């Protein structure tokens, strides 16, 4: 193998599994250290830089970081990253003085954002400090998009949602509520320099089976959640069937539980391992005594005189891998209400098809996955509107990227001209066997979130179920973070091949051996490197024998013992900081050291 | 000294030996030796060896004297017995311990100061008695614990850290052992566990004393350019006499490596050690030839390594003295101390 190029920001970035997995590349280990030091405000602001909505995401994020967390590979359960984010948001102090300054003198560029969801709000957040005039058009009378209409307030309190949205709107955004955009053509004619479409995926999928017509008690999940959020729906029948088993289904069944539902069944076509809902959302639903039934395919609705009587299902048996199924029977389940939560899609009846904004054969817009520009220059898409339903954190990242494109576009630069990532790498050595980070491994288990008592929580729709971590839980959970951003950095020319690092490594990461192709090298290490998603760090030839130092990054606990036992400082612990570019700000300008 | 104890985190695919233990179960406390000390690598080789041969920790005895080397038994096998004796007396105390309990497995870790200066007489007599133990010398050519004076194994012309050359002739434990009848003699290098681990396995299987001299660079006082016991110098001048392959007892020998240059020695416990001679004609069972070969190579500046000599025909301390089979702590008191009447009878025998 060739020596690893650690000057490429991607290499060490990939070692920080959580940050690499996060669409917005939030600097997780750094904010966890800030929390550990009690610097909640600092932790919040660091979060806000990349993910814009720490308090909201600390409750609702899809958490791509957690399944990626290295701790899971060592200790079965990942660090509770998302809940720590919430802790920082809950405990932070005053931040008004830390928010970006909005210039009084504008740059004479006007940007229209359609929809007041997380993608549009992120665009506004990034462009307002640069002097743009941003106008947001929202069809509802309140901002937030799906964060308000689809996430029940027992998971995301209204106060938390509004507070973080207001931070952005208060930058001087011209937010026009109850103002749906009816015609893209008209909007384009009204003189904006750029248009961003962040209108989400507001159309819930219909289930057209026999008996569907003639009732108002069969609901589309996301519309139904919306009508609860805005107070239009306040009750539900005692027997509720939820069709589908994604996160929307979980919100629907738990909302039903609070609106009077007693016998609530979530009906899944396939076995549990194929559920779309996150594991923790399933757990939370089941804690509330919602029943989840597997291997039932909806067959027909039974409606009499506008009243739902129930539904008929085929009972399925699946082969291994759940590819093909056989029907082994039919059952009828009585119900008062049926809620369809089988997916959603974006829809653009208000975009005329002769504007140069091309749509593909599924009638979704053709959007460049890097620039977020449509086929019409100056019109950008992001969030669920761009590529269909994803989640909040992806919408935020789309917003950041679209803002970069809009900034380039408005200044006559190519939108494909993307600012690169930068990096800083700084030694953490403070003295002999002394580091500026806590390198000791804490053998504590993942802290369990405490919930409001099962009776109390149903008293009101708005009672937040999760209580947040106690200070003791925070202290234990932060100690579980392995500081994966403090990198084991190797300088081959200093190595005397004494083996001290190899001998002391608690997890057999290191090997000195002759070089070879990666496939062969992976089998010849102190412990075989079987996790192919994790990199091998390969040094230049060692001075005494011409062999190489190889490190399997997979389960390194970043304890720094290799560096402590190294007599020549060939190993050092260096903190990697990924420098992310945002609109109008090139990250490399902040690069001060690179070893 | 490291800032933390070794994290309890373990590699998820860590293997277990026949006792169900992982290699981490053979560790001791954290080393307080200098970072990069050869001794720590030898400790790691001992840990690996004991794990691979599935040594029950409570059946192992770790013996040592005084010096950097003699600290190392604290750094492997928590669960073993141990005795840290007076300077140079490790072989003698071990002889006593073995006399009392022949059922345990003994490893003595010593250094060039402990064994070749103050304790040389003790070592020689333990060799002479063929005491069944692994006698490991961590040889770095200096007194590291007292700031780097030359030891008895320092080569003529080897320079101290301050640049002064040593003028006194060295004592080579390998030649010394061979000349007074050692039955198992090996030399290795701390930076070469691939060689050291099979040698140690063979050493534990040996009938009597296995004398293993390991070049173990002192990073603090003897790893500079004028040293003849540095990492670089050892690597440049190392010449392997044999390659050792250890086959545990009751393992079918399937490999059909070339018989050319291969000598097989069946050890006392039924295991087999196969030597592959690297220089043609090297015979690890012929003491005279081994000695003259070593003398010849040594005078041309080579450091000859490998399992150099083994003889399984010589009786150990217990066999030679026809002692009782059971360890003394297993004997009933009346048998162990049969009383005045028996003593009188015994003394009458000698009158």
B349 part of a folded domain: no
A571 touches chain B (CB under 8 A): no
From A363, A382, A410, give the residue that closes a domain: A410
Task: Please give the angle made by the CA atoms of A216, A282 and A54, to the nearest 5 degrees.
Answer: 95
B281 part of a folded domain: yes
Q: Considering its fold, how many domains does chain A have in total?
A: 2
CB atoms within 10 A of CB B167: 9
| Residue that wins the pLDDT comparison between A455 and A292 | A292
* Strand partners for A542: none
Closest-CA residue of B relative to A500 is B36
Closest-CA residue of B relative to A496 is B231
State the DSSP string of B250-284: T---------TTEEEEE-TTS-EEEEEESSTT--T
**pLDDT tens digit sequence for A44-70:** 999 999 999 999 999 999 999 999 999
Give the distance, in angstroms, between the CA of residue A2 and the centroid of all CA atoms in the same chain. 34
Closest-CA residue of B relative to A439 is B4
Please, are residues B36 and A568 in contact by the beta-carbon 8 Å criterion? Answer: yes
Residue A197, token pair as written in the block: 């479409």
Mean pLDDT of chain A: 95
Return d(Cα A227, Cα A480) in angstroms, integer: 41
List of chain B residues whose C-beta atoms are within 8 Å of the C-beta of residue A440: 3-5, 7
Q: What is the pLDDT of residue B255?
A: 42
Please, are residues B305 and B279 in contact by the beta-carbon 8 Å criterion? Answer: no
Scanning the structure block, which residue is given the tokens 């399933």?
A282
B120 part of a folded domain: yes
Return d(Cα A396, Cα A393) in angstroms, integer: 5
pLDDT mean for each 10 residues of chain B (351 residues): 92 94 96 96 97 97 97 96 97 97 97 96 98 98 94 95 94 97 96 94 96 96 95 93 80 48 78 79 90 92 93 96 94 93 94 89
A292 part of a folded domain: yes
Return d(Cα A55, Cα A176) in angstroms, integer: 24
Q: What is the pLDDT of residue A594?
A: 44
Q: Are residues A369 and A280 in the same domain?
A: no
pLDDT for A233 beyond 50:
yes
Please, are residues B189 and B214 in contact by the beta-carbon 8 Å criterion? Answer: yes
From A389, A410, A431, give the residue that closes a domain: A410
Q: Are residues A211 and A334 in the same domain?
A: yes
pTM of the model: 0.91
Q: What is the pLDDT of residue B251?
A: 57
Q: Are the Cβ atoms of A504 and B190 closer than 8 angstroms?
A: no
How close is the nearest chain A Cα to the Cα of B339, in Å? Answer: 53
Return d(Cα A153, Cα B66) in angstroms, integer: 70
State the DSSP string of A67-85: HH-HHHHHHSS---HHHHH
Q: Are residues A307 and A352 in the same domain?
A: no
A475 part of a folded domain: no
Q: Are the Cβ atoms of A502 and B11 closer than 8 angstroms?
A: no
B69 part of a folded domain: yes
* Strand partners for A278: none
Q: Are the Cβ atoms of A507 and B40 closer than 8 angstroms?
A: no
Tell me which H or E stretch contains A206. Answer: none
Residue B79, token pair as written in the block: 């669960």
Q: Are residues A296 and A356 in the same domain?
A: no
B81 part of a folded domain: yes
List of chain A residues whose C-beta atoms are within 8 Å of the C-beta of residue B7: 440-441, 506-507, 557, 559, 561
Closest CA to A254 of A296, A225, A276: A225
Closest-CA residue of B relative to A553 is B11
Please, are residues A33 and A27 in contact by the beta-carbon 8 Å criterion? Answer: no
Contacts for A376-380: CB closer than 8 Å, 24+ residues apart: A377/A409, A377/A415, A378/A193, A378/A194, A378/A195, A378/A409, A379/A184, A379/A188, A379/A194, A379/A195, A379/A197, A379/A355, A380/A194, A380/A195, A380/A196, A380/A197, A380/A405, A380/A406
| Residue that wins the pLDDT comparison between A592 and A347 | A347
Considering only residues 471 to 500 of chain A, which have any Cβ-Cβ distance to chain B shorter than 8 Å?
496-500
Q: What is the pLDDT of residue B138?
A: 98
Q: Are residues A228 and A155 in the same domain?
A: no
From A293, A313, A343, give the residue that closes a domain: A343
Return d(Cα A558, Cα A572) in angstroms, integer: 11
Q: What is the pLDDT of residue A513?
A: 96
Give the distance, in angstroms, between the CA of residue B222 and the centroid of all CA atoms in the same chain. 22
A74 touches chain B (CB under 8 A): yes
Residue B273 φ then ψ, to 5° = -110, 125
A146 part of a folded domain: yes
Q: Are the Cβ atoms of A527 and B13 closer than 8 angstroms?
A: yes
Return d(Cα A340, Cα A253) in angstroms, integer: 11
CB atoms within 10 A of CB A523: 10
Considering only residues 402 to 431 of chain A, which have any Cβ-Cβ distance to chain B shorter than 8 Å?
none
**pLDDT tens digit sequence for A483-514:** 999 999 999 999 999 999 999 999 999 999 99
**CA atoms within 13 A of residue B312's CA, in its CB half-sphere:** 16
How close is the nearest chain B Cα to the Cα of A502, in Å? Answer: 9
Q: What is the pLDDT of residue B259?
A: 54
List of chain B residues whose C-beta atoms are within 8 Å of the C-beta of residue A433: 1-3
Residue A287, token pair as written in the block: 């804690």
Comparing CB atoms, the residue among A74, A439, A566 nearest residue B36 is A566
How close is the nearest chain B Cα to the Cα of A499, in Å? Answer: 6
User: ipTM, 2 decimals?
Assistant: 0.90
How close is the nearest chain B Cα to the Cα of A10, in Å? Answer: 25
Q: What is the pLDDT of residue A425?
A: 96
**Collapsed DSSP state (helix, strand, coil) of residue B107:** strand
Task: Look up the CATH number of the domain holding residue B196.
Answer: 3.40.50.970
Return d(Cα B138, Cα B115) in angstroms, integer: 10
Q: Are residues A220 and A324 in the same domain?
A: yes
Residue A536 φ then ψ, to 5° = -100, 135
Comparing CB atoms, the residue among A497, A507, A565 nearest residue B11 is A507
**pLDDT tens digit sequence for A310-366:** 999 999 999 988 889 999 999 999 999 999 999 998 889 999 999 999 999 988 999
Task: Look up the CATH number of the domain holding residue A290.
Answer: 3.50.50.60
Closest CA to A421 of A4, A98, A16: A16
Q: Are residues A354 and A333 in the same domain?
A: no
A380 part of a folded domain: yes
A487 part of a folded domain: no
A426 part of a folded domain: no
**What's the pLDDT band for A96 if we cut at 50, 70, 90?**
very high
List of chain A residues whose C-beta atoms are within 8 Å of the C-beta of residue B31: 504, 565
Q: Are the Cβ atoms of B7 and A506 closer than 8 angstroms?
A: yes
Q: Are the Cβ atoms of A561 and B2 closer than 8 angstroms?
A: yes
Highest mean pLDDT pick, A400-404, A584-588, B251-255, B274-278: A400-404
Closest CA to B348 of B340, B36, A554: B340
Highest mean pLDDT pick, A206-220, A392-406, B1-15: A392-406
Please, are residues A74 and B14 in contact by the beta-carbon 8 Å criterion? Answer: no
**pLDDT tens digit sequence for A414-466:** 999 999 999 999 999 999 899 999 999 999 999 999 999 998 999 889 999 99
Q: What is the pLDDT of residue B256?
A: 39
Please, are residues B286 and B239 in contact by the beta-carbon 8 Å criterion? Answer: no
Q: Considering its fold, how many domains does chain B have in total?
A: 1
A435 touches chain B (CB under 8 A): yes
How close is the nearest chain B Cα to the Cα of A58, in Å? Answer: 28
Q: Are the Cβ atoms of A504 and B41 closer than 8 angstroms?
A: no
Domain of A243?
205-343
A188 part of a folded domain: yes
Please, are residues A561 and A502 in contact by the beta-carbon 8 Å criterion? Answer: no
Closest-CA residue of A relative to B7 is A441
Q: What is the pLDDT of residue A592?
A: 61
Please, are residues A288 and A257 in contact by the beta-carbon 8 Å criterion? Answer: yes
Q: What is the pLDDT of residue B27?
A: 97
| Those residues with Cβ within 8 angstroms of residue B51's Cβ, 6 or more apart along the chain or in another chain | B17, B21, B22, B23, B25, B26
Please, are residues A100 and A364 in contact by the beta-carbon 8 Å criterion? Answer: no
Q: Are residues A184 and A129 in the same domain?
A: yes
A41 part of a folded domain: no
Closest CA to A228 of A148, A336, A341: A148
Closest CA to B134 of B91, B177, B93, B176: B91
pLDDT for A2 beyond 60:
yes
How close is the nearest chain B Cα to the Cα of A269, in Å? Answer: 35
How close is the nearest chain A Cα to the Cα of B340, in Å? Answer: 56
Task: Please give the angle made by the CA atoms of A491, B1 and B48, to the nearest 5 degrees.
Answer: 75
- Measuring CA to CA, how many Å separate B138 from each of A271, A595, B124, B188? 61, 37, 17, 10
Return d(Cα A531, Cα A517) in angstroms, integer: 16
Comparing CB atoms, the residue among B3, B41, B43 nearest residue A434 is B3
SS3 content of chain A, % helix, strand, coil (to 5): 30, 20, 50
**pLDDT tens digit sequence for A246-285:** 999 999 999 999 999 999 999 999 999 999 999 999 999 9
- Over the Cα atoms of chain A, what is R_g? 26
Q: Are residues A136 and A219 in the same domain?
A: no
A442 touches chain B (CB under 8 A): no
Closest-CA residue of B relative to A508 is B11
Angle at which helices A28-36 and A81-91 cross, to 10°: 50
Residue from B1, B8, B9 to probe the interface with A (highest A Cβ count within 10 Å): B9
**pLDDT tens digit sequence for A354-381:** 999 999 998 899 999 999 999 999 999 9
Return d(Cα A180, Cα A574) in angstroms, integer: 51
List of chain A residues whose C-beta atoms are within 8 Å of the C-beta of residue B46: none
B327 part of a folded domain: no
Comparing CB atoms, the residue among A75, A433, A527 nearest residue B1 is A433
Closest-CA residue of A relative to B43 is A503
Scanning the structure block, which residue is given the tokens 């996150």?
A278
Please, are residues A329 and A317 in contact by the beta-carbon 8 Å criterion? Answer: no
CB atoms within 10 A of CB A143: 23
Closest-CA residue of A relative to B38 is A498
Return d(Cα A225, Cα A148) in angstroms, integer: 10
Residue B329's Cβ-count burial label (10 Å; 0-12, 13-18, 19+) is: exposed
- Which one-letter DSSP state was computed for residue A131? T
Residue A333 φ then ψ, to 5° = -115, 125
B312 part of a folded domain: yes
Return d(Cα B172, Cα B215) in angstroms, integer: 11
Domain of B99?
23-321
Q: Are residues A220 and A350 in the same domain?
A: no
Q: Are the Cβ atoms of B9 and A75 closer than 8 angstroms?
A: yes
**pLDDT tens digit sequence for A187-212:** 999 999 999 999 999 899 999 999 99
Tell me which H or E stretch contains A592. Answer: none
Residue from A498, A562, A566 to probe the interface with B (highest B Cβ count within 10 Å): A498
Interface A:B, Cβ pairs < 8 A: 108
CB atoms within 10 A of CB A570: 24
A590 touches chain B (CB under 8 A): no
């Amino acid at each position: 193998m060739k020596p690893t190029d650690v000057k490429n920001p991607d290499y060490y970035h990939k070692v920080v599994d959580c940050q690499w997995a996060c669409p917005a590349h939030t600097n997780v280990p750094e904010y966890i250290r800030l929390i550990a030091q009690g610097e909640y405000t600092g932790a919040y602001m660091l979060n806000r830089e990349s993910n814009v909505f720490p308090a909201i995401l600390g409750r609702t994020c899809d958490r791509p970081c957690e399944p990626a967390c290295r701790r899971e590979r060592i200790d079965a359960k990942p660090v509770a990253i998302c809940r720590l984010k919430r802790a920082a948001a809950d405990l932070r102090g005053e931040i008004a003085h830390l928010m970006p300054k909005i210039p009084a003198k504008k740059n004479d560029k006007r940007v229209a954002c359609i929809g007041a969801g997380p993608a549009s709000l992120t665009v506004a957040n990034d462009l307002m400090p640069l002097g743009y005039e941003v106008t947001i058009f929202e069809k509802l009378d309140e901002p937030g998009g799906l964060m308000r209409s689809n996430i029940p307030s027992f998971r995301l309190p209204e106060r938390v949602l509004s507070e973080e949205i207001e931070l952005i709107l208060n930058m001087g955004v011209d937010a026009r509520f109850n103002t749906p955009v009816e015609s893209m053509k008209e909007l384009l004619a009204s003189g904006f320099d750029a248009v961003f479409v962040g209108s989400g995926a507001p159309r819930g999928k219909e289930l057209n089976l026999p008996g569907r017509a003639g009732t108002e008690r069969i609901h589309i999940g996301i519309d139904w959640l919306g009508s609860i959020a805005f107070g239009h729906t306040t009750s539900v029948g005692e027997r509720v069937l939820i069709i589908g088993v994604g996160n929307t289904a979980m919100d629907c069944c738990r909302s039903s539980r609070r609106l009077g539902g007693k016998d609530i069944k979530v009906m899944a076509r396939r076995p549990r391992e194929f559920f779309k809902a996150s594991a923790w959302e399933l757990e939370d639903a089941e804690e509330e005594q919602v029943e989840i039934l597997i291997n039932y395919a909806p067959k027909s609705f039974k409606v009499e005189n506008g009243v739902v009587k129930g539904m008929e299902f085929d009972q399925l048996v699946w082969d291994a891998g759940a590819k093909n199924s056989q029907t082994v029977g039919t059952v009828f389940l009585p119900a008062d209400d049926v809620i369809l939560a089988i997916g959603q899609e974006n829809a653009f009846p208000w975009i005329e098809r002769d504007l140069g904004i091309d749509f593909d054969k599924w009638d979704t817009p053709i959007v460049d996955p890097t620039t977020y520009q449509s086929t019409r220059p100056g019109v950008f898409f992001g969030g669920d509107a761009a590529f269909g339903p994803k989640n909040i954190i992806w919408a935020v990242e789309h917003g950041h990227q679209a803002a970069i494109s809009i900034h380039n576009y408005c200044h006559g630069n190519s939108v494909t001209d993307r600012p690169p990532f930068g990096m800083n790498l700084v030694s953490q050595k403070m003295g002999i066997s002394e580091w500026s980070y806590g390198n000791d491994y804490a053998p504590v288990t993942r802290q369990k979130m405490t919930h409001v008592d099962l009776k109390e929580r149903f008293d009101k729709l708005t009672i937040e179920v999760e209580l947040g971590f106690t200070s003791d839980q925070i202290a234990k959970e932060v100690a579980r973070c392995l500081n994966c951003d403090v990198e084991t950095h190797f300088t081959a020319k200093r190595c005397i091949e004494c083996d001290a690092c190899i001998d002391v490594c608690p997890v057999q990461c290191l090997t000195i051996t002759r070089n070879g192709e990666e496939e062969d090298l992976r089998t010849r290490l102190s412990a075989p490197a079987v996790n192919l998603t994790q990199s091998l760090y390969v040094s230049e030839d060692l001075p005494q024998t011409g062999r190489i130092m190889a490190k399997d990054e997979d389960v390194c606990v970043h304890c720094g013992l290799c560096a402590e036992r190294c007599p020549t400082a060939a190993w050092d612990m260096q903190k990697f900081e990924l420098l992310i570019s945002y609109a109008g700000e090139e990250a490399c300008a902040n690069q001060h050291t690179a070893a | 000294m490291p800032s933390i104890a070794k994290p309890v985190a373990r590699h998820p695919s860590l293997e277990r030996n026949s006792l169900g233990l992982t290699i981490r179960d053979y560790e001791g406390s954290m080393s307080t030796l200098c970072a990069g000390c050869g001794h720590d690598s030898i400790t790691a080789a001992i840990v690996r060896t004991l794990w691979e041969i599935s040594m029950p920790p409570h059946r192992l005895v770790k013996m040592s004297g005084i010096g950097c080397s003699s600290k190392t038994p604290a750094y492997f096998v928590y669960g073993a017995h141990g005795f840290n004796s007076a300077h140079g007396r490790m072989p003698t105390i071990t002889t006593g311990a073995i006399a009392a309990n022949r059922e345990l497995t003994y490893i003595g870790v010593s250094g060039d100061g402990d064994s070749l200066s103050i304790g040389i007489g003790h070592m020689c007599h333990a060799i002479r008695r063929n005491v069944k133990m692994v006698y490991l010398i961590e040889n770095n050519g200096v007194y590291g614990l007292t700031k780097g004076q030359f030891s008895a194994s320092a080569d003529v012309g080897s320079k101290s850290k301050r640049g002064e050359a040593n003028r006194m002739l060295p004592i080579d434990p390998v030649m010394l052992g061979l000349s007074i009848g050692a039955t198992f003699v090996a030399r290795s290098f701390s930076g070469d566990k691939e060689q050291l681990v099979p040698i140690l396995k063979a050493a534990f299987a040996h009938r009597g004393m296995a004398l293993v001299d390991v070049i173990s660079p002192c990073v603090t006082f003897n790893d500079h350019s004028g040293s003849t016991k540095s990492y670089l110098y050892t690597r440049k001048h190392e010449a392997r006499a044999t390659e050792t392959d250890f086959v545990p007892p009751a393992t079918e020998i399937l490999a059909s490596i070339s018989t050319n240059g291969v000598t097989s020695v069946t050890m006392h416990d039924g295991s087999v050690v196969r030597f592959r001679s690297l220089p043609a004609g090297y015979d690890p069972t012929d003491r005279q030839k081994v000695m003259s070969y070593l003398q010849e190579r040594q005078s041309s500046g080579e450091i000859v390594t490998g399992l150099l000599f083994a003889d399984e025909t010589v009786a150990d301390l217990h066999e030679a003295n026809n002692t009782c089979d059971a360890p003394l702590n297993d004997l009933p008191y009346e048998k162990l101390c049969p009383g005045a009447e028996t003593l009188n009878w015994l003394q009458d025998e000698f009158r």
